[in-house]
């Protein structure tokens, strides 16, 4: 007994020692600033990139939720059954070979800053005995005390050992990561609830090592000292000397419960709470208490709980039926796994971004080096081209790329590679090479027109801004015609100007069409003219060829972005 207690305490000390080895990490890397770089697109999964792109282009107020790490944890602790027979822990268990130790393994994933789910497997043993004599077994023909060794004819002392295997899926709620005056938690408190399945196998110690019935009548149960505590000690010592701790006899089982081999299956409900202590970048220490509700009265092998009662001055016993439940108190070590991910979100403060934005206007720029007026990533003190249009790629001097060096930036250049001998180019970046002798007398080439880009309309489902499969097929044809007319632009017009909702949805649908053509078809965004609040069908987006000389922006800010919040 002393050896088991020492082993358990040594394990707890080892977990705390591991925490001290990693304590320095928390003050340098994990808690500095309390958050992460909200503009880091490498942390965003592909399905949330469109929202992140709109956020970075100031078209949406909220950054995308980043990937966050998974948690895998291993726990060990004490398993105690609350039932008809008194449960005994490893610290006060006098019966040889009995124990109440258990271990668990879980995987946890956060779906938001508060809610996460956890899958847990738990295995262990629980045991107990009654120092009082009992006779409630007489009313149950299936109870082993009625059949083992020819059956008992005297009051007995119950003694059981139950093996438990539990699978459960739990919803875990973080309770304290929403902080108004602190960047990050070092301790996380949580509550949990879940459902699952239980396999249990209960056995009782009804026979001695020779296979004979115990002589419970030999144990002196008549108080002689006048002190209940002293009488219990006397009985406990006698039981310890008598029981062999083999638990050789199957306990009573239900006839109408599903069985699996020697095990009985039950559907269970779990609830509990705990706390986690951050030890390092990827480690945390966990202390938790979890209760499992079984809806079963034979987890400890006995159907009736016998209660002392006094009638007419004489002590008798009454029996009550009550379901058995069990408690798992544990200490565990958790590891966080996942590359290109932030910490599990229950460690993060969702107010980080809001506080960063609130304090930004207060800090006045001290020089041009603190400003980037055209938002191209190059500060104004180094930007040789301070008015670069949005979305244009720039070099280290902040100027648009000019691949052929003809003085016309690539985003305006209609002849991307102009030979040196054909320069200087015109305003469109087209060179002026002398016509070869062989071609001077050929018929003039008809100037390209944009009639090949047909007009059309893309239909949307009512209230939806996402492109349907039919709409994508229709836009494939528009993409083909624009590729055949590389110098032509297309006008994309979202319809609907009746109210704020229609205008915002008109913008969203036109934006979806242009994003599809740019991202999926590879058409340069500058070849589109973005319009919305048209007068056509409010559930459609029109497209047509741009008229000669017609110009317009390829991106626009949403008119009423806050409507999405509602």
Q: What is the DSSP string of 124-142?
A: EEEEEE-SS-B-GGGG-TT
Looking at 317, 352, 387, the residue that finishes a domain is: 352
Residues 470-521: tens digit of each pLDDT: 888 888 888 888 888 888 999 999 888 778 888 888 999 999 999 999 988 8
Residues shown for the chain: 566
Of the candidates 52, 99, 54, 51, the one whose C-alpha atom is nearest the C-alpha of residue 77 is 99
Task: Report residue 485 as tokens.
Answer: 């007319």
Of the candidates 80, 45, 532, 552, the one whose C-alpha atom is nearest the C-alpha of residue 299 is 80
Which pLDDT does position 535 carry in this prediction?
A: 77
Residue 303 CA to residue 255 CA, distance in Å, equals 13
Instruction: Please give the helix or strand (H or E) that residue 325 lies within, else none.
Output: strand 324-337
* Structural contact between residues 410 and 402, judged by C-beta atoms closer than 8 angstroms: yes
Residue 126 CA to residue 300 CA, distance in Å, equals 9
Residues 177-206: tens digit of each pLDDT: 888 887 778 899 999 999 999 999 999 998
Looking at 310, 331, 352, the residue that finishes a domain is: 352
Q: Looking at 38-42, 222-226, 312-316, 511-515, which range is the least confident one? A: 312-316
Q: Is the pLDDT of residue 228 over 60?
A: no
Which pLDDT does position 367 carry in this prediction?
A: 61
Q: Is the pLDDT of residue 339 over 60?
A: yes
Q: Looking at 340-354, 401-415, 545-559, which range is the least confident one? A: 401-415
* Structural contact between residues 185 and 175, judged by C-beta atoms closer than 8 angstroms: no
Which pLDDT does position 276 carry in this prediction?
A: 96
In a domain, 523, yes or no: yes
Question: Could you tell me which residue, 526 or 533, shows the higher pLDDT?
Answer: 526
Question: Could you tell me which residue, 431 or 207, shows the higher pLDDT?
Answer: 207
Residue 255 is part of a domain; what is its CATH number?
2.40.160.20
In a domain, 286, yes or no: yes
Task: For 175-323, list the strands marked E by DSSP.
Answer: 187-204, 249-250, 259-260, 263-278, 283-296, 305-311, 314-320
Q: CA–CA distance from 49 to each of 40, 41, 61, 244, 305 (Å)?
A: 11, 8, 14, 66, 61
Q: What is the pTM of this model?
A: 0.59
Of the candidates 118, 86, 120, 91, the one whose C-alpha atom is nearest the C-alpha of residue 103 is 120
Q: Is the pLDDT of residue 565 over 60?
A: no
Which pLDDT does position 23 carry in this prediction?
A: 36
* Structural contact between residues 132 and 298, judged by C-beta atoms closer than 8 angstroms: no
Residue 225 CA to residue 139 CA, distance in Å, equals 33
In a domain, 407, yes or no: no
Which pLDDT does position 80 carry in this prediction?
A: 92
In a domain, 543, yes or no: yes
Of the candidates 37, 40, 61, the one whose C-alpha atom is nearest the C-alpha of residue 51 is 61
Residue 556 is part of a domain; what is its CATH number?
3.30.1330.60
Query: What mean pLDDT value characterizes the chain?
Result: 80
How far from the centroid of its chain's Cα atoms is residue 550's Cα? 50
Residue 15 CA to residue 557 CA, distance in Å, equals 53
Task: Report residue 334 as tokens.
Answer: 């958790």
In a domain, 504, yes or no: yes
Q: Is the pLDDT of residue 97 over 60?
A: no
Task: Report residue 14 as tokens.
Answer: 């080892």
Residue 108 CA to residue 100 CA, distance in Å, equals 26
Residues 52-81: tens digit of each pLDDT: 888 887 778 888 899 999 999 999 999 999
Cis peptide preceding 424, ω within 30 of 0: yes
Sign of CA dihedral 401, 406, 408, 412: negative
Radius of gyration of the chain (CA): 38
Number of H helices, E strands in the chain: 7, 16
- The HSE-up count of residue 24 (CA atoms within 13 Å, CB side) is 1
Question: Could you tell me which residue, 417 or 195, shows the higher pLDDT?
Answer: 195
Residue 22 CA to residue 459 CA, distance in Å, equals 58
C-alpha angle 439/440/446, rounded to 5°?
A: 80
C-beta contacts of 226-234 below 8 A and 24+ residues apart: 232/131
In a domain, 127, yes or no: yes
Of the candidates 508, 152, 69, the one whose C-alpha atom is nearest the C-alpha of residue 516 is 508
* 311 confidence band (pLDDT: 50, 70, 90): very low
- Both 215 and 81 in one domain: the answer is yes
Q: Is the pLDDT of residue 288 over 90?
A: yes
Name the percent of the chain lying above pLDDT 70.
81
Looking at 332, 352, 372, the residue that finishes a domain is: 352
Q: How many domains does the chain have?
A: 2
Domain hosting 467: range is 456-565
């Amino acid at each position: 007994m002393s050896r088991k207690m020492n082993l358990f305490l040594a394990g707890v000390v080892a977990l705390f020692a591991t925490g001290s080895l990693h304590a320095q990490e928390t003050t340098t890397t994990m808690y500095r600033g309390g958050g992460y770089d909200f503009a880091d697109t490498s942390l965003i999964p592909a399905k949330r990139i469109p929202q992140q792109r709109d956020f970075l282009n100031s078209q949406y107020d909220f950054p995308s939720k980043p990937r966050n790490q998974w948690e895998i944890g291993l726990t060990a602790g004490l398993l105690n059954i609350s039932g008809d027979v008194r449960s005994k822990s490893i610290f006060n268990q006098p019966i040889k070979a009995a124990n109440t130790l258990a271990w668990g393994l879980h995987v946890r994933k956060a779906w938001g800053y508060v809610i996460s789910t956890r899958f847990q497997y738990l295995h262990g043993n629980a045991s107990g005995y009654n120092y009082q004599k009992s006779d409630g077994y007489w009313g149950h023909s299936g109870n082993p005390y009625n059949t083992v060794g020819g059956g008992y004819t005297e009051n007995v002392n119950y003694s059981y050992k139950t093996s438990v295997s539990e699978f459960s899926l739990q919803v875990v709620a973080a309770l304290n990561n929403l902080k108004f005056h602190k960047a990050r938690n070092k301790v996380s408190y949580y509550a949990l609830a879940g459902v699952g399945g239980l396999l249990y196998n209960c056995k009782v110690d009804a026979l001695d090592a020779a296979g004979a019935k115990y002589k419970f009548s030999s144990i002196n149960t008549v108080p002689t000292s006048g002190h209940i505590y002293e009488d219990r000690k006397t009985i406990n010592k006698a039981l310890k000397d008598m029981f062999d701790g083999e638990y050789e006899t199957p306990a009573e089982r239900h006839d109408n419960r599903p069985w699996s081999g020697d095990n009985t299956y039950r559907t269970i409900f779990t609830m509990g709470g705990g706390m986690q202590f951050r030890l390092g970048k990827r480690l945390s220490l966990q202390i938790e208490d979890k209760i499992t509700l079984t809806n079963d009265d034979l987890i400890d092998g006995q159907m009736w709980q016998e209660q002392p009662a006094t009638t007419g001055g004489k002590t008798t016993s009454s029996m009550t039926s009550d379901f058995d439940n069990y408690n798992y108190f544990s200490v565990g070590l958790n590891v966080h796994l996942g590359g290109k991910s932030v910490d599990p979100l229950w460690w993060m403060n969702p107010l980080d971004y809001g506080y960063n934005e609130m304090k930004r206007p207060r800090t006045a720029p001290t020089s041009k080096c603190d400003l980037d007026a055209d938002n191209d990533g190059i500060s104004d003190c180094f930007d040789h081209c301070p008015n670069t249009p949005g979305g244009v790629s720039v070099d280290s001097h902040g100027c648009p790329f000019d691949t052929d060096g003809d003085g016309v930036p690539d985003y305006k250049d209609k002849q991307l590679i102009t030979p040196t001998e054909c320069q200087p180019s015109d305003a469109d970046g087209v060179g002026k090479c002398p016509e070869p002798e062989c071609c001077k007398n050929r018929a003039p080439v008809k100037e390209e027109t944009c009639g090949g880009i047909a007009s059309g309309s893309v239909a949307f489902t009512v209230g939806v801004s996402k492109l349907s499969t039919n709409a994508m097929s229709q836009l494939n044809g528009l993409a083909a015609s624009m590729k055949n007319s590389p110098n032509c632009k297309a006008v994309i017009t979202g319809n609907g100007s009746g109210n704020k909702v229609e205008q915002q949805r008109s913008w969203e649908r036109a934006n979806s069409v242009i994003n599809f053509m740019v991202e999926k078809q590879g058409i340069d965004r500058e070849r589109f003219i973005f319009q919305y609040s048209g007068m056509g069908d409010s559930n459609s987006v029109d497209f047509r060829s741009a008229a000669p000389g017609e110009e317009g922006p390829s991106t626009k800010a949403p008119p009423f972005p806050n409507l999405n919040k509602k």
